[in-house]
Amino acid sequence: MKWYFQALKNTFNFKGRARRKEYWMFRLVDFLFLISFFITGFLVAGEKIPEVVGVIPKIYDVLIFIPYLSVSVRRLHDIGKTGWWVLMLVPSKCSLYMGIDVSSRTMTFVSITMLVTSLIGIIILFIFACKDSQKGENKYGFNPIGELL
């Protein structure tokens, strides 16, 4: 939880660097919150009202979006990449909230393009998030691991 709150504390800090540990612990707690919200929704609403089940996770997702962007930008800075790479997430967020359904038989060219772009962006950002920190100082600041020693 320490790393989750660390990321929340730095919600509007898009400068500097974030270690892998800060990023992945934030993502883990974020994931656990989402799962707990879905489970709670199913327990409360049951299968009769599937729309209700997704409301709380979507609200949470909107609220946590800026902290997620912030920690992602700082994670990219830690490996020496510009934070603009985060824009690769835009198609996935748009498709999520526009309700693009992969199982639909009437997927349009736009929805297929957004889906493919989303997958490519998510894979690239996942690889970046797994990379080790740049040693020492880079143009985005000091190595956060060095600051802890």
Give the mean pLDDT of the chain.
Answer: 85
R_g over Cα of the chain: 17
Contact 37, 54 (CB under 8 A): no
State the average pLDDT over residues 83-89. 90
What DSSP line would sit under 78-144, residue for residue?
HTT--GGGGGGGHHHHHHHHHT--TT-TT--HHHHHHHHHHHHHHHHHHHHHHSPPPSS-BTTBS-H
Contact 128, 138 (CB under 8 A): no
Contact 81, 20 (CB under 8 A): no
| Structure confidence at residue 98 (pLDDT) | 62
pLDDT band at residue 85 under the 50/70/90 scheme: very high
| Structure confidence at residue 105 (pLDDT) | 61
> Tokens standing for 63?
């609220």
- Judge residue 62's burial from the number of C-beta atoms within 10 Å of its C-beta, 0-12 exposed, 13-18 middle, 19 or more buried: exposed
State the average pLDDT over residues 122-143. 94
As a whole number of angstroms, the distance between CA 118 and CA 27 comes to 18
pLDDT digits (tens, 9 = 90+) for 14-63: 999 999 999 999 999 999 999 998 888 778 776 666 666 677 888 898 89
| Structure confidence at residue 133 (pLDDT) | 94
Considering the entire predicted model, what is its pTM?
Answer: 0.83
| Structure confidence at residue 51 (pLDDT) | 66
Please say if the pLDDT value at position 100 is more than 60. no
Please say if the pLDDT value at position 64 is more than 60. yes
